[in-house]
Amino acid sequence: MTDAPLPRTQGTWAHLVYVLRANPVTLLAFGMFAFLIFCAVFGPAVVPYDPLATNAAKSLQPPSWEHWFGTDQIGRDVFSRVIVATRLDLMISVAAVALSFVVGSILGAVAGYWGGWLDSVLNRFLDTIMAFPLFVLAMGIVAALGNTIENIIYATAIINTPFYARLVRAEVNIRRNAGFAQAAKLCGNSDLRVLAFHIFPNALPPMMVQVSLNLGWAILNAAGLSFIGLGVRPPTPEWGIMVAEGANFIVSGEWWLAVFPGLWLMLAVFTFNLLGDGLRDIVDPRKRT
């Protein structure tokens, strides 16, 4: 056609910059996310105290310049423990979400593409999982499988899988007979390839929103399990346990033991909740100009 002077199109990097600049909330979320990642990677190296070192002489001190978040009942530095715990909590949630993302995507994509009895069976199975109170189900799984970090990950993954499967199923189903899927078949792609390389990637934008919300839930879930004594065991620093232990001291006035880990937990969940829309805009090529 005749449009000779072509406006320049954006590359991936320019698009990323655009998404971050257009929405200050996304920029904030990515900034907080970068901070959390920094804590997870370098936390143990930069904290002022050993998170496990006890110091009976300095037990239950309120926040001060020396101990920003105060110290606990056996004199451990709360700030160091909160920062060091980031790695464990993020690891549990990322692993759990990755697992449910993969399993949910496969189940949902297969059900959405081929349909039929497979679809019906899978849907009823997912309905069954969702019929349980999810946290109670996770408790049951951890209690039954044993009290380890891996089992927390599995339990969190199992309760999150139905959400991914449902979402992917719907997204795949509406594109099953789309023109580009038909065209891909004419190009010599088998059904499996059409599904994996043409239809599934188009389901990614809404999945990203789900992933980031889920990361938040997964952290809460892991902390919740630890809070009630399942999963991570003391003295390992972990936000849930710290809140649980700190809760005993609130009555006697030592509020910092529970408040700071709780605040950090909230911060992490908040970050992931904010992250969703930005992530979706980044993986959606249609948002580019």
Partner 1 sequence: MLSVRDLAVSFQTRNGEVRAVRGITLELGKGEILGIVGESGSGKSVTSYALMRILDAGGSITAGEVTYSGIDLRRAAERDMRDIRGREISMIFQNPRAALNPIRKVGHQIEDVLRQHGRATRADARQKAIEALKAVRIKDAEARYDAYPFELSGGMCQRVVCAIALACDPRLLIADEPTTGLDITTQKAVMDLVRDLIRDRGMSSILITHDLGLAAQYCDRIVVMKDGRIVEQGDPVQIFSAPQHAYTRKLVDATPREGESIRSLLPPDERHPTLPHKVHNRPLIEVKDLTKTYQGKSGPVHAVRGISFRVDQGQSVGLVGESGCGKSTTSEILVRLLDPTSGAVLFDGHDIAGIPARRFVRDTRRKDIQMVFQDATDSLNPRHSARQSIAEPLRRLAGMRGAKLTARVEELAVLVGLPLALLDRFPHQLSGGQKARVGIARAVALEPRFLILDEPTAALDVSIQALVLNLLVDLRAKLGLSYLFVSHDLHVVRLLCDYVIVMKDGQIVEEGPADRIMRNPTHPYTQELLDAAPKPPARRVAAE
**Left, alpha or beta for 67 (phi > 0: left; psi -120 to 50: alpha)?**
beta
Under the criterion CB under 8 A, does residue 1 sit at the interface with partner 1?
A: yes
CB 81 within 8 A of CB 242: yes
Under the criterion CB under 8 A, does residue 198 sit at the interface with partner 1?
A: yes
Under the criterion CB under 8 A, does residue 131 sit at the interface with partner 1?
A: no
**Among positions 14, 191, 229, 233, the unique one binding partner 1 when judged by CB under 8 A:** 191
Q: Least distance in Å: CB of 201 to partner 1?
A: 5
Q: Least distance in Å: CB of 207 to partner 1?
A: 13
CB 9 within 8 A of CB 289: yes
Q: How far is CA 254 from CA 51, 70, 77, 234, in A?
A: 19, 9, 14, 19
Residues 199-218 that bind partner 1 (CB under 8 A): 201-202
Under the criterion CB under 8 A, does residue 251 sit at the interface with partner 1?
A: no
Pick from 227, 242, 219: which is nearest to 52 by CA? 242
Under the criterion CB under 8 A, does residue 288 sit at the interface with partner 1?
A: yes
Under the criterion CB under 8 A, does residue 116 sit at the interface with partner 1?
A: no
**Among positions 74, 145, 187, 228, the unique one binding partner 1 when judged by CB under 8 A:** 187
Specify the stretch interacting with partner 1 by CB under 8 A; choose among 36-44, 60-68, 79-87, 280-288: 280-288
Residues 2-31 that bind partner 1 (CB under 8 A): 3, 6, 9, 22
Identity of the residue, 3 or 146, whose beta carbon is nearer to partner 1 in the bound complex: 3
Identity of the residue, 99 or 170, whose beta carbon is nearer to partner 1 in the bound complex: 170
- The 8-class DSSP code of residue 3 comes to -
CB 258 within 8 A of CB 246: yes
Pick from 17, 40, 48, 31: which is nearest to 91 by CA? 40
Pick from 50, 101, 40: which is nearest to 74 by CA? 50
Give the C-alpha separation, 259 to 89, whole Å.
17
Q: Least distance in Å: CB of 210 to partner 1?
A: 18
Specify the stretch interacting with partner 1 by CB under 8 A; choose among 74-82, 131-139, 190-198, 242-250: 190-198
Specify the stretch interacting with partner 1 by CB under 8 A; choose among 106-114, 188-196, 225-233, 238-246: 188-196
Show the binding pattern over residues 157-186: x = contacts partner 1 (CB under 8 A), - = does not: ---------------------xxx-xxxxx
Chain centroid to Cα 30, Å, comes to 14
Pick from 121, 101, 103: which is nearest to 111 by CA? 121
Identity of the residue, 31 or 285, whose beta carbon is nearer to partner 1 in the bound complex: 285
**Among positions 24, 116, 146, 188, the unique one binding partner 1 when judged by CB under 8 A:** 188
Q: How far is CA 120 from CA 93, 125, 128, 134, 203, in A?
A: 30, 9, 12, 22, 21
Which residues of this protein are in contact with partner 1, per CB under 8 A?
1, 3, 6, 9, 22, 178-180, 182-191, 198, 201-202, 285-286, 288-289
